[in-house]
Structure formats: C-alpha cells, structure tokens
Chains A and B, each alone.
Chain A
C-alpha cells in the first residue's frame, strides 16, 4: 500500500509544526546557563538580563518569578521546573526565557544573558548517588536520590541459582542515547482574545500536554488547545512537554501575539530527553540440558535530574528483564536514581532496550558453555501461548516466538554461518549472532489504554476521520484512512484524516508504546461500524427500504442490494444535522486478568498482556587492524500478529533495527560530570547510508484476535534485537564477549589485543 501522505512528503508539501508558524511571531528562547559553563548542579545566585534587554529587538526576559501556577512540569511525577529559580540540576536546565522580535535579536539577546551560578557538589553516577552521603539532586527529598525501588519476585531465585548445575553471572552497561529526530523540538502558540491558549507543536501527546501545561502554569487545561501536525520523528523524545510549557509561558507574556520556539540541534542535545543509561548485574541458572531454572538481576537506571518517565521505563525494563522465556524462578530488583545528568525519559524500547543485551548476552554465553546451538537453547525455553511468563502472567494473547525462530533458522544467513566465518578475508574476523526479544504493547495495568475515534459524514459525501493520536512517521494516519475506507466501502480518496487537534478530536492517549494502530484502530472500527449502521437506517426511508439489511454502502452512495437504486451520500448528508453525521466510539485495550502479585513497588504499568516477539540475526566482519565492526547483513523476523500492511510493518522493523545498530556501534554519548561532550552531530554519530546493511525484514505468521484485523503493535521490538545480535556475532567472530555498549572500534581493538581467538567461543 502506498501511504497516503507519502507523496506529499516526497514533493516537499508536508508542513510540520514550525512550517505552519505565522510570519508575525515573536521568537522565544531558553537561557540555559549550565550549557556553556558546563556546570550541571549549581545555585542560581543571580540572573542578569540587563545587557540582553538592551539588545534591539529583545522584548522581555522572564524568570521563575514570572511563572504562574506551580512552575512544575512532568508526566506522572511533577518535579521539573519550567524555569529554575534556585537551583539548576543539569547542564540544560533553563533559568530564563527571552522573547524577541526576530531570530537574530533572540540569538543576540541570549548571548548577552549573564548568570552567576555557584557550583554545588554534583552526582553523576547512579550507583554512587545511592550512597548515604551522596549530594542530593533534590535537596530535602525523602528517599534521597532514589526515585523508586521496585522488585519482581516469582518463585525463589536465590535458592534455584544455588541449586542450578550451570550458572552464568555477568555485569553489563548501556549508555545514554540521543533520539536525534531530524525535526527538533518546536512549535508556536498564541493567547487568543477569548482566553484560549492555542498551540501547534511537534508532540506525541497533545491531549496530555494540556494538563501538563495547565498544572505548570495554573491554566485551565480545557482552555488550552493543542494541535499536533505530522512529526519529523519522535521515538519517545516528544512524549512529555519539551517546548510546551516554555512556549505557553511566552504566549502569556506576548500581548496576544503568536510566539514561536525552535530548539536548534545543539539545544536539542543539551536539553532534550534521553534514553536511560543502565547498569545491570545478572545471574542465569539452567539445567545441563539448557532448561532455564532461575534468573536474578539487579538494575540501576540513571534517570537524570528529573523523573520524566523514569519510573515507568524502569518498570517496563524490569518486566522484560528475563526475556521471552519460561523461567520459574525470577527476581528482578530495580532502582531508578536521580543524578545531575541529562533528563532520561521515553525512547523506543523504553527500558527493554537496555535489558535485552543482558539477558541475551547470558543466553548466548550459556549456549556456548553447554555446547548447545544458540537457536536451540532459545527454542527450548521460548514462551508459547498459554505459558506463564517470567512475571507470572499467563499469556492468553498471541505468542509467535517459535514461528520467528522457524523463519530465522531456515534463512541462509543462519544456515550459512559456518561458511561465513570461514570466508573471512585477511585481517578480518567474521561471525554470525542471533537474539530473541519481546516488547509489550500498550500501557499495562493501572492506566487506561484508551482511544476515542470520531468519524463524520461530510457535506460533500466524503468522510472525515478525526485522529486522536499523533503520526510521528509510523504511518498510523494513512493506516486509519485506509481502514476507514475499507470499513465504509469507499474510495481511498473519499476519506480525509484530521491530525490530532484537541478542539476537534477526542483524547486517545499518547503516540507511544506501540499502541496507536491497535487501540485507535479498534476504536475506529467501532466508529465505522456505527456509522455504517446509522447511514443504512437513515437512507432506508428515501430508498423505500424497510430493512437496513437490504441496503449497503458503496463508493459515494447507499444503495439497495436488490436493484442497485442508490442515494448519493452527499444528498443523504443534506438531510442530516451535523450532530447526526458524526459517530464516536471508544476502545479500551484489554489488560491481564488476575495479575500476579509478583511486582512490588510498581505504581502503574505492570503487567502487560500483549507482546510482539522477534528473532534477529547479524552477520559482522571485524577489522583486526582498526577494531571497526561492519554489519554486513541483518535479518529481523517479527511476530506482529496479522500484517495489515507489509510495507509499514517492514518500515518499523528496519527503522527500529537501524536505531538499534546505531546504539550498538556508532552512538557514543559522552558525558563528563554532567557536561555533554558530544554536543552536535559531528561528534554524536548516527549511522549513515554507507554504515548499514540492507536490513531484511520478514514476518512470522500470526494472528492477534483482539487486534484490528489481527495485528499487534511492532514499533519498538525491532530496536531491542540489534545490540544483542551484534554482540553475539562479535563473540562468534573472535570469542570476545562485549558487555558495555557501544562496541566502539577502540573497545573492540582493546578486546582483540586482550586475546580473542578466531572462530572460538569464550
């Protein structure tokens, strides 16, 4: 299927948030004193705006004193100042907001801002942050730097590990990762005469944004209108207010003029949310035949200066910490810790990305230790439908992991792995590695995963679908339009989609968690069914039919099935009031019934019921002279239930794997005492077209009966498989197990020097 929006984007006709900004905007920019000075934790002694205000074109400089309301934003935990008054807690913390008449004036004004920041002792290591005398990120906070401690316990992992004939114990670490969407954070806003705050912004959660803004600035959320055009990428980094509260604050002080804010790349890296860096300590126990008996791990998530979605990310990571396997005894302890590092939040893979290299690294090592084929070990322990998963949830939903393994194992990349390794050219080592992963869909228990779809018969006889969920590139808008056209038996061009607008559409949750096509799609199916039923009844009288069953919808018309006599929908529309031309329906994602009490300390989100599964494979070539690892081939086999649209399905698998390969090999986010050293895209390196192989995406046959057309969300699982597959391939190539991401050439070369052996496993 060609996505309906694709041609417009290729023609350069798509308009993103800042493209829509009116010409007469004021320009707003945040002053972040820690950025240049490299001070991540400090007391704000003085903000001096004198020179800035003297710059021609600078209109106002706002500080914390100008913020009404609580001056605290956040999604669940509201601990992040819109403008810092006393203390900055990370290098990107904003202390003032400059308003100017032009981009040049804004730049000059920001450059003229001065601040006296008295450095405070900072804490930059989450393990050290938990020590008794560690400096506090939030002074006076009960609980110190520990945002949350939680545990999952099923069976008796400690005893089972003691009794296990084979145990593998290792430590791993994963780094901070930058979303690096091509479209940076930004938007524009205006306080209208009637008191409405009207905002257009690149956001994954337009409906929730109103509440975040309202709480932070003391505004009535229902008087805030948020419009969400297509995003130029989100990946989680635009879930939760980025520019929204600052922009709203600016609009309140702009005398009714529209005001715009756009973060340039450097500001996006300095101030945007990040993936949590995590430290992991794992132990895996098994029988000699490879049956897993116990997994115990402790995880420390560095959530940075503010909570954002730290708790939720860690909880999801903990829920997935034992992988897609049957393990009777499981203990996972997690600590989510404040530091003076950049704020960590949502990022595709959401906690699961970090645990996957750990549990799969151990599985791979266990297979080697037992002399078992890596795929055979996975297959032996792979979850099936009806099994109880490591958290104690009985999987009544679809589980396609075995099917993924079937496809992977029959692929020539896997069957040819011995030959691949043997054919390594001079100065190179070659290897093949695989990984199995799963990633949940939806919000889990405790938070309604709900969507409300609105469909309208337009006066011209076409249909309008009011989407409640942002399209950040996953193609849900096009999918919804296609779904509606199919349900209503109309030409694709007859369905027009309205992107989320809180004044026109209905709340449907965030664009995240692989949920939008599933949840909103299901709501849309219901709304279309209601619309079809309604129109048939409404057309009955004009068509002289006495039973709705004798009528059907056809392109542009309602018609009698017997003689084809039809009534144009445009004509029917004229007979109806606007109210009557609209159908609204909702859907609530099912949740795990009788959830186990294995999770302690979990607020919301535990456990989940629906999971996507995948088996990934990487073929690598390592250059012995430089340590560079080239991924020559990559295969992603994904279970997403029924595939509604193969192209969209592949896009998610390929895109997720590409980001995962960046995470594994290229993206080396460097921090030094809270100061970001990789400040722009010349030092924070995304893989380019010459760095990635042709990622092959295959679908495992499956069906999720509860999903629209049988599908499950696959937006995130594709990310999780890449790092473990590459780690396994490196191990296959030279016997070295790398447990600290990214696998930079320097780390690989150092490991080779310490003693890797071609073709042998550790």
Chain B
C-alpha cells in the first residue's frame, strides 16, 4: 500500500484520482478495519498536511455567522478550541467523552463524520446544531446539511472524488441551552449505546420556544423526533412535560438489538434521557 501526503487541495484531488485510492484522515477507524482485512487499498492519501482542511474560525454563512471547523482538525484541536468551548458546548461535551485522549489526538472531525457510525459521538450535537458540510472536489465546492450527508450506517453522500472539507455550524442564539449525554458501558473508550444532544431556547418565563433534539445509536443514523420537539413547545422543562415527550420518543423510536444493548433498553433510555433536561 502506497501512502502519499499531498500538501494542497489540488495535489489531494490528483492523488485521489488514482484507481483504488482511499482517504487516510486520523487512521483510528481505518487501521482497525485494515487489521480485520477490510478496506484494503493500493493507495492511501493522507489529509494530514493539507492546510485548507484545517483551521477553526468564525465565518459568514448564508444565514448568519457560523463557526467553520476544518474537517481534518483533530478531535483534540476542536475540543480545546476556545470558540468551540464558548459557543458550542454541546459539541465540546461530546468530544470530551469520545474515545480517549490519544484517540482524540489522532482522530479527526471529518473522520468521525465520514465513518458515519450510527453511534458517532459528534453526530447528534452537529445535527442539533444544524450543521452544514462543505464538500470539495476538483469541480469545486458544494454544501449539504448534515442530515442529507448521513445516508445510513457507514454511508455518506460523498462521491468518490470528493472530500469533506469543513463543518460549518450556525452559531446558536445567545442564551440557548446546550446539553449532551452519552450512555456507554464504561466512561471512556465506549461506543455509545444511546446518546442525546439537545438545544433549547427558553423564553423569559422558562417556556420552550424552540427545541432541537437529536439521538445517537437508536437508528441507522442520527435520529430526530419532531413530535417530541413539538410536545415541548410552549412548556416549561418540568418532569411532567419531559415525561410526555419521553413517552412520544419511546413510541416512535425503532432501535436494534446488538452486542452492546437490546432494542428495549435503547428505547427505554432514549426516552429517559429527556428527563435529565429537568436539571437544566
């Protein structure tokens, strides 16, 4: 297997044009797959040294200010960035419980997105935040909302000569409550069994004006529940209101059984995690 290190987007696209070429981002998912005999390829193209794919900063987006996160940024870089900490605590919280310190030092934001695991820790927060993705190819740039990008377990809307260049997150309104909880079988190096990201805007009397909820590990990809969000509209975050929304969630969600948890457990907990919002 050949490994190349392009130093610009142009070089990157040229390398990716080689037959069978695959992208190597942090390697934390890819090398595990290679070990078990999957995803063998004659050529790996590293994103490590392509400056256009890194960098975190404020940018103007179509609907206002966004925080633009270079896709090849390591998870640690994103986690430790002051703007992420300040403006996107829901994402920071997810990153803090993803993997382990060395995994975060190596893995990239783009890699977590392109692996598109149903349990990907970054995915519910980015979905709740309404993130848009910038996809780049020799033909130029296109943008896709996150939820149009994630097609299913391990499947994304990337076409073969494209790379994920950046994640653009619209800045939440000041005062938005941001919450994330991951349920795993242990506190680090654990694939999520259920996770919940929530962004809530409350009015002066504590009633919900806008709720964006996104669950992980309970569906082929990130799962939204507009009915639960609607059930919270105009209510305060009481156990009663949250309990009603939780019941809706449990009725609608369709998780699977796997080695880490049963569908029944996932269904139960997916609803229960809403109750935690009473602590906000």
Q: Do chains A and B touch in the complex (CB under 8 A)?
A: yes
Interface residues of A (CB under 8 A from B): 111, 426-427, 624-628, 666, 668, 670, 677-678, 682-683, 685, 687-691, 744-746, 749-750, 753
Contact yes or no, A111 B37, CB < 8 A: yes
Name which residue of chain B comes closest to A666, CB basis. B186
Contact yes or no, A625 B186, CB < 8 A: no
A745-B186 in contact given A426-B279, A427-B276, A625-B273 (Cβ < 8 Å):
no
Q: Using C-beta atoms within 8 Å of the partner chain, give the interface range for chain B.
A: 20 to 34
B122 within 8 A of A: no
Contact yes or no, A691 B191, CB < 8 A: no
Residue among A677, A687, A690, A753 with most chain B CB within 10 A: A690
Contact yes or no, A749 B269, CB < 8 A: yes
A626-B269 in contact given A427-B276, A746-B262 (Cβ < 8 Å):
yes
Contact yes or no, A691 B186, CB < 8 A: yes
**What B residues does A427 contact at CB under 8 A?**
275-276
- Which residue of the partner chain, among A426, A677, A749, contacts B259 with CB atoms under 8 Å? A677
Contact yes or no, A688 B187, CB < 8 A: yes
- For residue A370, give the distance in angstroms from its CB to the closest CB of chain B: 35
- Which residue of the partner chain, among B37, B187, B191, B261, contacts A682 with CB atoms under 8 Å? B191
- For residue B237, give the distance in angstroms from its CB to the closest CB of chain A: 13
A745-B188 in contact given A677-B259, A678-B259 (Cβ < 8 Å):
no
A746-B186 in contact given A625-B269, A625-B273, A625-B275 (Cβ < 8 Å):
no
Listed from nearest, the 5 A-B pairs whose CB atoms lie closest are: A690-B187, A625-B272, A746-B265, A691-B186, A626-B183
- Which residue of the partner chain, among A625, A745, A749, A753, contacts B185 with CB atoms under 8 Å? A745
Name which residue of chain A comes closest to B279, CB basis. A426
Contact yes or no, A691 B279, CB < 8 A: no
**What B residues does A685 contact at CB under 8 A?**
185-186, 189-190
Contact yes or no, B186 A688, CB < 8 A: yes
A626-B187 in contact given A745-B265, A746-B261 (Cβ < 8 Å):
no
Residue among B190, B194, B279 with most chain A CB within 10 A: B190
**What A residues does B273 contact at CB under 8 A?**
625-626
**What A residues does B265 contact at CB under 8 A?**
627, 745-746, 749-750
Known A625-B275, A682-B189, A683-B259; 16 more pairs at CB < 8 Å: A426-B278, A426-B279, A625-B276, A626-B269, A626-B273, A627-B269, A628-B183, A678-B259, A683-B260, A685-B185, A685-B186, A688-B187, A689-B188, A691-B188, A745-B183, A745-B265
B161 within 8 A of A: no
- Which residue of the partner chain, among A111, A677, A683, A749, contacts B268 with CB atoms under 8 Å? A749
Q: Mark B176-217, 1 if CB is under 8 A from A, else 0.
A: 000000010111111101100000000000000000000000
**What B residues does A677 contact at CB under 8 A?**
259
Q: How far is A352 from B118 in the complex, measured between Cα atoms in Å? A: 41
Q: Mark B246-280, 1 if CB is under 8 A from A, else 0.
A: 00000000000001111001001100110110110
**What B residues does A683 contact at CB under 8 A?**
259-260
Q: Could you list 24 A-B pairs, sorted by A, with CB under 8 Å?
A: A111-B37, A426-B278, A426-B279, A625-B273, A626-B183, A626-B194, A626-B269, A627-B269, A628-B183, A666-B185, A678-B259, A682-B191, A685-B190, A689-B188, A690-B187, A691-B186, A691-B187, A744-B185, A745-B183, A745-B193, A745-B265, A746-B262, A750-B265, A753-B268
Task: Identify which of residues 18-50 in chain B touch chain A, using a CB-to-CB cut-off of 8 Å.
Answer: 37
**What A residues does B193 contact at CB under 8 A?**
745
Q: How far is A170 from B266 in the complex, measured between Cα atoms in Å? A: 30
- For residue B84, give the distance in angstroms from its CB to the closest CB of chain A: 22
Q: How far is A386 from B278 in the complex, measured between Cα atoms in Å? A: 59
**What B residues does A746 contact at CB under 8 A?**
261-262, 265
Q: How far is A111 from B40 in the complex, measured between Cα atoms in Å? A: 15
Q: How far is A668 from B265 in the complex, measured between Cα atoms in Å? A: 16
Q: Mark B54-75, 1 if CB is under 8 A from A, else 0.
A: 0000000000000000000000
**What A residues does B187 contact at CB under 8 A?**
688, 690-691
**Mostly helix, strand, loop or mixed at chain A's interface?**
loop
**What B residues does A753 contact at CB under 8 A?**
268
A690-B185 in contact given A625-B272, A625-B273 (Cβ < 8 Å):
no
Q: How far is A749 from B278 in the complex, measured between Cα atoms in Å? A: 20
Contact yes or no, B268 A687, CB < 8 A: no
Q: How far is A628 from B190 in the complex, measured between Cα atoms in Å? A: 14
Name which residue of chain A comes closest to B189, CB basis. A688
**What A residues does B100 contact at CB under 8 A?**
688
Name which residue of chain A comes closest to B275, CB basis. A625
- Which residue of the partner chain, among B37, B188, B260, B279, contacts A690 with CB atoms under 8 Å? B188
**What B residues does A111 contact at CB under 8 A?**
37
Q: How far is A413 from B190 in the complex, measured between Cα atoms in Å? A: 30
- For residue B115, give the distance in angstroms from its CB to the closest CB of chain A: 14
Contact yes or no, A687 B276, CB < 8 A: no
Name which residue of chain A comes closest to B262, CB basis. A746
**What A residues does B259 contact at CB under 8 A?**
670, 677-678, 683
Q: How far is A687 from B278 in the complex, measured between Cα atoms in Å? A: 30
A687-B186 in contact given A111-B37, A427-B275 (Cβ < 8 Å):
yes
A626-B272 in contact given A426-B279, A670-B259, A683-B259 (Cβ < 8 Å):
yes
**What A residues does B183 contact at CB under 8 A?**
626, 628, 745
**What B residues does A690 contact at CB under 8 A?**
186-188
Task: Identify which of residues 150-186 in chain B touch chain A, using a CB-to-CB cut-off of 8 Å.
Answer: 183, 185-186
**What B residues does A750 contact at CB under 8 A?**
265
Name which residue of chain B comes closest to A688, CB basis. B188
Name which residue of chain A comes closest to B269, CB basis. A626
**What B residues does A689 contact at CB under 8 A?**
188
Q: How far is A683 from B185 in the complex, measured between Cα atoms in Å? A: 9
Name which residue of chain A comes closest to B193, CB basis. A745
Residue among B191, B194, B268 with most chain A CB within 10 A: B268
Q: How far is A687 from B276 in the complex, measured between Cα atoms in Å? A: 25
Name which residue of chain B comes closest to A742, CB basis. B185
- For residue A304, give the distance in angstroms from its CB to the closest CB of chain B: 21
Name which residue of chain B comes closest to A662, CB basis. B186
**What A residues does B268 contact at CB under 8 A?**
749, 753
- For residue A57, give the distance in angstroms from its CB to the closest CB of chain B: 18
Residue among B186, B190, B259, B275 with most chain A CB within 10 A: B186
Name which residue of chain B comes closest to A264, CB basis. B35
Residue among A111, A685, A689, A746 with most chain B CB within 10 A: A746
- For residue B1, give the distance in angstroms from its CB to the closest CB of chain A: 12
Name which residue of chain B comes closest to A753, CB basis. B268
Q: How far is A427 from B278 in the complex, measured between Cα atoms in Å? A: 10
Q: How far is A691 from B190 in the complex, measured between Cα atoms in Å? A: 11
**What B residues does A744 contact at CB under 8 A?**
185
- For residue A634, give the distance in angstroms from its CB to the closest CB of chain B: 16
- For residue A111, give the distance in angstroms from its CB to the closest CB of chain B: 7
- For residue B182, give the distance in angstroms from its CB to the closest CB of chain A: 10
Q: How far is A49 from B81 in the complex, measured between Cα atoms in Å? A: 55
- For residue B114, give the distance in angstroms from its CB to the closest CB of chain A: 19
**What B residues does A670 contact at CB under 8 A?**
259
Q: How far is A405 from B187 in the complex, measured between Cα atoms in Å? A: 32
- For residue B28, give the distance in angstroms from its CB to the closest CB of chain A: 12
- For residue A37, give the distance in angstroms from its CB to the closest CB of chain B: 15
Q: How far is A744 from B273 in the complex, measured between Cα atoms in Å? A: 18
**What A residues does B185 contact at CB under 8 A?**
666, 668, 685, 744-745
**What A residues does B278 contact at CB under 8 A?**
426
Q: How far is A624 from B188 in the complex, measured between Cα atoms in Å? A: 21
Name which residue of chain A comes closest to B246, CB basis. A625
Q: How far is A708 from B190 in the complex, measured between Cα atoms in Å? A: 45
- For residue B39, give the distance in angstroms from its CB to the closest CB of chain A: 16
- For residue B14, give the distance in angstroms from its CB to the closest CB of chain A: 30
- For residue B259, give the distance in angstroms from its CB to the closest CB of chain A: 5
Q: How far is A750 from B259 in the complex, measured between Cα atoms in Å? A: 17
Q: How far is A683 from B260 in the complex, measured between Cα atoms in Å? A: 7
**What B residues does A626 contact at CB under 8 A?**
183, 194, 269, 272-273
